Amino acid sequence: MSQLAQIQGIPKKVIEYLTQTFLKSGKLGYTKLAFASLLAFWGLNFLARQHGLLSKKSVKGSHIFITGAGSGLGKQMAILFARLGAKVSLTDINLQSVEAVESLIKAEGLQSKAIYCDVANVQSVKDAAKVARETFGDVEILINNAGIVSGKKLLETSEKMIEKTLQVNTISHAYTVREFLPAMLQNNKGHIVTIASAAGTVGVCGLADYCASKFGAFGFDESLRMELKQLKSNVRTTCICPYYINTGMFDGVQSKYEFLLPILKESYVSKRIVNAVLQNERVVVLPALTNAIFLSRAIFPVWLFDHLCNFLGINQTMDHFVGRTNPSQTAV
């Protein structure tokens, strides 16, 4: 147990203390002891993951390709990864924005390359990938971060915007993965990161097209992970499902119970994602309570689950949505 605890980053002394306490009490049967130990182990592992305390891999010298890197999470992740020694290809439909990020990174003496990329256009993805490979070699970590949101109810959203949302938030993932996965498989290493959303696990009023796209991104990651397992590949996947973040993309949204479902800070989420990649985590849902909401969808009857969402104010969060003044393919 202690050896496993060390591997998972859980303090050895804590595990030993819990085990010895249960054994000395003599009040618990073996079944209860096993269950209590497993629960304690899971809880400590959960806390260790949340605070980035597990053992981490190095990304020094690795080539990381980030979409939607001109602002929000993409920008913050690019800076954090560059500071860890990675070579970062910064892509966005707004070339000026990623050039500004490139300047910030290079000012610290770090490596990055600003590249124009419209992720909804397969040829643009191919062109960006070619430039990235010519600059830093094969991509070892792909972060599908670009995303857009209309923020309108279904009948108020144009057909063009619905199609664009699905193209940017979902279909583009297939374009980028198909571009970089072959080399990852050949080298038998790599990491594909999907920035999905908590709205990819639970439907939200006023986000029909966005939820559809993020459910798609979540499902894409699930299927990709299974395919890689079947291939017995060392290529990793990580899916990130955060609640609303204060990147500007969801300006105006309000949370009924901030202490339960807070609007997440961009700096916290970006650091949490970086740690999730370094720790090879498979799925990360933020904040912690959204895990319980996701679980309750499977356990509760639909009518009860709907009442729970209304009670938590989830279906009213978009009532005062404003969003960005000049939206582009940026971080969720």
Long-range contacts of the stretch 267-272 (C-beta < 8 A, 24+): 267/76, 269/73, 269/242, 269/245, 270/73, 270/76, 270/77, 270/80, 271/52, 271/76, 271/80, 272/50, 272/52
Helix (H, G, I), strand (E, B) or coil at 282: coil
Cα–Cα distance measured from residue 252 to residue 105, given in angstroms and rounded to the nearest whole number: 31
Please compute, for residue 202, the number of CA atoms within 13 A of its CA located in the half-sphere on the CB side: 29
Residue type, 154: L
Residue 210 designated active-site:
yes
Catalytic residue among 175, 210, 243, 244: 210
- The CA R_g of the chain, rounded to the nearest whole Å, is 21
How far apart CA 146 and CA 50 sit, in angstroms, is 24
The two tokens of residue 320 are 């005062």
Catalytic residues: 210
